[in-house]
Chain A
């Protein structure tokens, strides 16, 4: 019994130390957001908690200053919401097609779903860039949303989930005279609700943090999303740390709040792919 307590204490201390290491960057950025940007340039990012050097000036600047931060923030929210809604609806529909029917070419098409998941997206950056340029979608949110609208990983997850739903629902619907689409919309979608939460969070996180492709496509400053906007604060001629640090801090907040509220779904969403690997 005593030995068990000793093991518990050692384990706890071990994890507590790692936990401190993990949280240090968050702590550093949090206290830096209360210090003037010059401090950062002069002394570097550090852990010094010096109440006399700290103020709410950066936050005041964030909320009242002349800059585009909240337009970036709003763009990110808009893009994330639209992208997640469209991706979920379309991916779920496709997944239902794969799960409910036997049809010619089904296996081949499903292999295509797996292929997408295996090839690095980065390879397609340039041809997608020229394609976007040629069809005149540069600088539009459509160019960001469309390529991922039938998301392979999301289809894969929904199909797994649907395989656990009894097929009798579908045949019962047919007996009652519902059309093929009516069955999906009225009978299946309501049953799928729980799986939407995990996928909404996974896709939402990816979309909120998405950087490279939007960065290439969007050149018009008033369309910038939060990560792109924050990146523009870093220039070769000097960095706007006043806004950068407090802005970074503030960009983590909404995700942090969502995470605390829906932790279970975050974890389900993140590990969805690994379950049946």
Chain B
């Protein structure tokens, strides 16, 4: 009887998707819900929680360290977007052109950094951006007669190190995304355009860029997400979650500091909810905008 019930065509699909339903409820919906509740509570691990209304949020609004973290994450996101979209797109177009020698070799070597863990990559970059005269970047600057820079002690130079790490790891991956987008563009468009006398540059702006839009939106969405949620990169570069004057502190870094290091779970949950709100607002705005452009076409 039970067997017939489980084997029926009506019940089988639910059996197939059951693991997802369970994981979704236990490890996603429930934590998200409890994150929301926690953000209205004063809470420490293993102790009874106390309801405190919007106190965590009002405290966050006046928290200058949190503001610093938000600014750092925002600047990091903007810088990575400014680099990790146009350059990979350009590289993809160039590497895809018929004038390219050694295409496969370059494709794999650009992709290679993405295979390293953040721990390993972060350690290497931390050492490369070391403050000694002999450290890699400083020794190169030395060749141009520039004095050694204490990269990880200054705000701007700190950003440079962070963005350099992101650029190194993700340029190749984003290039692959654009390459797979280019595969879907038919050669016919370009042939027609050259018959009409369009220059290579015109072909790029009028054919390639608009037709790469779905890929660009995808890359943009994941980069916004990755930029705002960045943490371990900073943790590795500064060898911990404490950078001088918080120059490397990010939103998730602050969440971690409050929640794990200071056992201030309620306050940290509020940080998480604010991050969720920021990510959602930016991404939905971005998607709405690209949708609007679509109607114009």
| A contacts, CB < 8 Å to B | 4, 7-8, 11-12, 14-15, 18-19, 22-26, 28-29, 32, 40, 43-47, 90, 93-94, 96-98, 100-101, 103, 106, 109, 112-113, 115-116, 118-131, 133, 146-147, 149-150, 155, 179-181, 184, 205, 208-209, 211-212, 216, 226-227, 230-231, 234, 236, 244, 248, 251-252, 255-256, 259, 263, 266-267, 270-271, 273-275, 277
Contact = CB atoms under 8 A, between A and B. Distances in A.
B203 interface: no
Given A150-B20, A212-B231, A255-B115, A130 B7 contact: no
Contact of A211 (B20, B118, B239): B118
B168 A22 contact: yes
A97 B15 CA distance: 8
A141 to B, nearest CB: 15
Contacts of A244: 123
Nearest to A118: B283
Interface residues of B, number: 102
A259 B172 CA distance: 14
Contacts, number: 267
27 contacts: A8-B100, A12-B100, A43-B132, A44-B135, A46-B134, A90-B19, A94-B19, A94-B20, A100-B16, A103-B13, A109-B17, A109-B24, A124-B272, A125-B259, A126-B259, A127-B31, A147-B23, A181-B12, A211-B117, A211-B118, A244-B123, A259-B108, A270-B114, A271-B176, A271-B177, A277-B215, A277-B218
Interface of B: 7-10, 12-17, 19-24, 26-28, 30-32, 34-35, 38, 45-46, 91, 94-95, 97, 99-102, 106-121, 123-125, 127-128, 130, 132-136, 138-139, 168, 171-173, 176-177, 179-181, 214-215, 217-219, 222, 225, 228-229, 231-232, 236, 239-240, 252, 255-256, 259-260, 265, 268-269, 272-273, 275-276, 279-280, 283
